Structure 1
Amino acid sequence: MDSVRNPYTPNAGATPEIMVGRDDQTETFRVLLQRLERGRTEQSMIITGLRGVGKTVLLGEFRDIARAAKWEIVEVEASKHDDTHFRQTLFSQLKGALLRLSPRARWTERGRQAAEVLSAFALSIGADGGIAVSWDVPPAEGLADHGDLGMDLTDVFVALGEAAQEQGRGVAILIDEVQFLRTTQLEALIQAVHKTVQRKLPITFVGAGLPQNAELAGDAKSYAERLFKFPKIDSLKGDDARRALTEPAAIEGVTMAEDAVDLAVQITRGYPYFLQELGYQTWSVATGDRIVLEDIETAREAYEAKLDDSFFRVRLDRATPLQTAYMRAMAELGSDPQKASDVAAVMKRESSQLGPTRAELIDMGLLYTPEHGYAAFTVPDFDKFMLRAVPQLQVPEVRKRRPKS
């Protein structure tokens, strides 16, 4: 069929033609904004889930909902940067939000106060001795100049929230890949949100990331579980998975046979990214205005090759030989979360020897810990890929240290 008309979007964070199976989360976000607008308090959200389940897409939907409600949106993709870089990123984004809320020529006392607090926030000493401020607003004194990220960000959120409240609007800060925030950064965000909840201000932080985020937030601040909901999104089930395939095709006047849909859902197990990829490859081989079972079967090889070459391979290529061996040993044990001692036994090593390797893989976002002592892949079906990509487990030798003379 015509590739230009292909309605499937297997791209990172790309919004699909049809958003299905996420009604609970979008409704929760609408309620959050509406309650904050009314001066009420409401728990915010940190969405968790594996790679490819649509967390970034869902944040994009939140952005559209907030924009329709006349809220200002700040979007940040977290990365492993120090607190100085984090401070600079937030300063730039929040400055833009303030100027959109209230242009400088129309600043009230609260608007100017928010600008001065932002200047102080940017000037606070960082790891490299400070940050250049890109505007000529003098910094506030005694606010956002403590040198403590949590205290400084709290002052910023309060000042910006008060400025937004005066304008009858709000600010939604959407942060993706939350697991890459440093503990100090996540702690600062939670602390700042806590204060805005106490002040009943229309400003909030909503995050998304891998499944360990709930644990990370709880470790950062003990009251995080009372400030946030931690909805977990997973593969699409039943009719939702079917609709994700059939409705985009229907937009282009194409139908899908029931047995074709059944096979596609079975192959992809309902994971949104996999559904989009299989749909895309099937569209490329199908003819006419109806997709049949044979089209799915024909497309399956190209679908698996595309996942191996891009979605999976890009993650394996980042791993060292020992990290690769660790993941291959996990894959040999199956798709369930695996106990550290069992993985070590497969590798014929002591668990203590492999602790640093396991920690590195978690830090890289390739593994997460669903419970103490266990680890699981952050990518669906990664165990099957490891068995294909690394047919034989090869554990690098450990060089023995020479005895001290």
Structure 2
Amino acid sequence: MDPISNPYTPNAGATPEIVIGRDELLEDFKVLLHRLGRGRTNQSMIVTGLRGVGKTVLLGEFRQIAEEFKWRVLELEASKHDDSHFRQTVYSQLRAALFQISPKAKWGEKARKAAQVLQSFSLSIDPSSGAPTLSLDVDPAEGFADHGNLTLDLTDVLVSIGEAAREHATGLVLLFDEVQFLSQTQLEAVIQAIHKTVQRKLPVTFVGAGLPQIAELAGDAKSYAERLFKFPKIGSLDVEDAKKALAEPAHIEGVSFSDDALNRAFELTEGYPYFVQELGYQVWAVADDDVITLEDVEDAKDAYEAKLDSSFFRVRLDRATQLQIAYMRAMAQLGPDSQKAADVAAVMGRESTQLAPTRSELINMGLLYTPSHGYAGFTVPHFDRFMLRAVPDLDVPPVQKRRSKAKKH
């Protein structure tokens, strides 16, 4: 069929034609903004899930809702950067948010105070951290956001901007993606700063998204995190929602799916949103008629798997060392579920203590997560299948012997 009219969007973070199966979370977010806007408190949320389940898409929907509420939005995709780079990014976006709250000519007392606090915050940014820091053309507020401590500084900034937002009958939403890549210092700072805005009933909230270990990381950072945030988990769509995610975009273009085509599509994708979009895209490319059949789905299967292998999966494997690849291949050999470290080591003919650094590296890279003590699972659905296709044989590199120090004569 016509590729221009293809209604599917298999791109990282791209919003599909119709967002299916997330209505409850979208409604929860609206309730959150309504309550904060009325000076009442409500738990913020950190959405967790594997890769490809639509966390980034959900954040995009939250942004759109916030904009409809006339709230200001700070968006950040976390990465492994130092605190100075984090400060630079946060400052730049908060500076823009402050001007959106009110143009400088209309600043009230609270907005001017927020600008001065933000100016103080900017002085702690290392000039070599990236883009030049644009001034707010106000004097810094002495004793605010100038502590040299990220937690204290960020708290001062968010409280002052929250007060400015309330003065101008608006609010501020912080939307952070890939939260698991925040350093412990950064995560602690965000949690404590939001805690202070909640205590003062300010219209400021934080909504994050990340891999499943986030709830544990947040709890490690601050013991009260579980009371401050909800941690909703999102995963694959159920059968009916997965079928809707395929059928409804096609219906907009005057195309329908046969029942057996939808059933086979669910078998192939298991309802994972990214896979649904990719399969839909490939099926559209091979179908000739305005009724998509089981045969069309079967004809698209090879192209669907090849596209996932070459992009969605391969980009992750290409970052791994030979030993890391062997570790993941051994996990895949054991099956799709989370695996014990000792069992993976046994498949590789090693002791689990020898492989602990490799396992830790894969977790830090975002390729594995730890659902429970001693277990690790792939952060990407169906990654075990890919590993068996991409690496047919388990090849464990030999143990590197330490060089003995030359004896002094």
Q: Provide TM-score, normalisation by structure 1.
A: 0.98
| Structure 2 residue 56 is the aligned partner of structure 1 residue 56 | yes
Structure 2 residue aligned with 1:97: 97
* CA distance in structure 1 between the partners assigned to 2:115 and 2:103 by the alignment: 11
Say whether the 8 Å CA contact 2:39–2:203 is kept in structure 1.
yes
Deviation string 1:241-292 (CA, Å, 9 cap, x unpaired) is 1100000000000011000000001100000000000000000000121101
Question: Offset of 1:57 from its aligned partner?
Answer: 0.2
Structure 2 residue aligned with 1:230: 231
Question: Offset of 1:134 from its aligned partner?
Answer: 1.0
More deviation in 55-64 or 124-133?
Answer: 124-133
Deviation string 1:174-233 (CA, Å, 9 cap, x unpaired) is 000101100000100000000000000001111001111101100110000000000000
SS in 2 for 1:173: strand
Deviation string 1:34-66 (CA, Å, 9 cap, x unpaired) is 000000000000000000000000000000110
Say whether the 8 Å CA contact 2:85–2:129 is kept in structure 1.
no
Structure 2 residue aligned with 1:25: 25
Deviation string 1:45-101 (CA, Å, 9 cap, x unpaired) is 000000000000000000011000110111111110000000010000000000011
* CA distance in structure 1 between the partners assigned to 2:143 and 2:386 by the alignment: 55
Amino acid paired to 2:324: Q
Question: Offset of 1:305 from its aligned partner?
Answer: 0.4
| Structure 2 residue 196 is the aligned partner of structure 1 residue 186 | no
* CA distance in structure 2 between the partners assigned to 1:174 and 1:402 by the alignment: 48
Structure 2 residue aligned with 1:351: 352
Distance verdict in 2 for CA 1:10–1:122, change over 3 Å: same
Structure 1 residue aligned with 2:335: 334
Distance verdict in 2 for CA 1:129–1:298, change over 3 Å: closer
Question: Offset of 1:122 from its aligned partner?
Answer: 1.3
Distance verdict in 2 for CA 1:125–1:276, change over 3 Å: closer
* CA distance in structure 2 between the partners assigned to 1:275 and 1:119 by the alignment: 47
Structure 1 residue aligned with 2:248: 247
| Structure 2 residue 315 is the aligned partner of structure 1 residue 314 | yes
Say whether the 8 Å CA contact 1:122–1:131 is kept in structure 2.
no
| Structure 2 residue 242 is the aligned partner of structure 1 residue 279 | no
* CA distance in structure 1 between the partners assigned to 2:78 and 2:132 by the alignment: 21
Question: Offset of 1:143 from its aligned partner?
Answer: 0.5
Structure 2 residue aligned with 1:3: 3
* CA distance in structure 2 between the partners assigned to 1:355 and 1:321 by the alignment: 15
Say whether the 8 Å CA contact 1:122–1:132 is kept in structure 2.
no
Question: Offset of 1:400 from its aligned partner?
Answer: 1.7
Counterparts of residues 2-401 of structure 1 (less than 5 Å):
2-124=2-124, 133-135=133-135, 136-401=137-402
SS in 2 for 1:208: strand
* CA distance in structure 2 between the partners assigned to 1:167 and 1:125 by the alignment: 28
SS in 2 for 1:47: strand
* CA distance in structure 2 between the partners assigned to 1:312 and 1:125 by the alignment: 37
CA RMSD, Structure 1 to Structure 2 (Å): 1.3
Amino acid paired to 1:32: L
Question: Offset of 1:124 from its aligned partner?
Answer: 2.1
* CA distance in structure 1 between the partners assigned to 2:106 and 2:176 by the alignment: 29
Question: Offset of 1:131 from its aligned partner?
Answer: 9.2
Say whether the 8 Å CA contact 1:178–1:213 is kept in structure 2.
yes
Question: Offset of 1:132 from its aligned partner?
Answer: 5.5
Say whether the 8 Å CA contact 1:83–1:126 is kept in structure 2.
no
Amino acid paired to 2:354: Q
* CA distance in structure 2 between the partners assigned to 1:208 and 1:350 by the alignment: 35
Distance verdict in 2 for CA 1:110–1:260, change over 3 Å: same
Distance verdict in 2 for CA 1:214–1:134, change over 3 Å: same
Structure 1 gaps of 5+ residues are none
Distance verdict in 2 for CA 1:88–1:257, change over 3 Å: same
Question: Offset of 1:238 from its aligned partner?
Answer: 2.0
SS in 1 for 2:196: helix
* CA distance in structure 2 between the partners assigned to 1:58 and 1:41 by the alignment: 22
Q: Provide TM-score, normalisation by structure 2.
A: 0.97
Distance verdict in 2 for CA 1:341–1:285, change over 3 Å: same
Question: Offset of 1:109 from its aligned partner?
Answer: 1.2
Say whether the 8 Å CA contact 2:51–2:380 is kept in structure 1.
yes
Deviation string 1:349-393 (CA, Å, 9 cap, x unpaired) is 111111110110000000000011110000000001000000000
Question: Offset of 1:398 from its aligned partner?
Answer: 1.2
* CA distance in structure 2 between the partners assigned to 1:297 and 1:403 by the alignment: 58
Say whether the 8 Å CA contact 1:286–1:295 is kept in structure 2.
yes
* CA distance in structure 1 between the partners assigned to 2:274 and 2:219 by the alignment: 29
Say whether the 8 Å CA contact 1:124–1:130 is kept in structure 2.
no
**Sequence identity percentage:** 70
Report the number of matched residues: 405
Amino acid paired to 1:117: V
Question: Offset of 1:138 from its aligned partner?
Answer: 1.7
Distance verdict in 2 for CA 1:243–1:129, change over 3 Å: closer
Say whether the 8 Å CA contact 2:13–2:56 is kept in structure 1.
yes
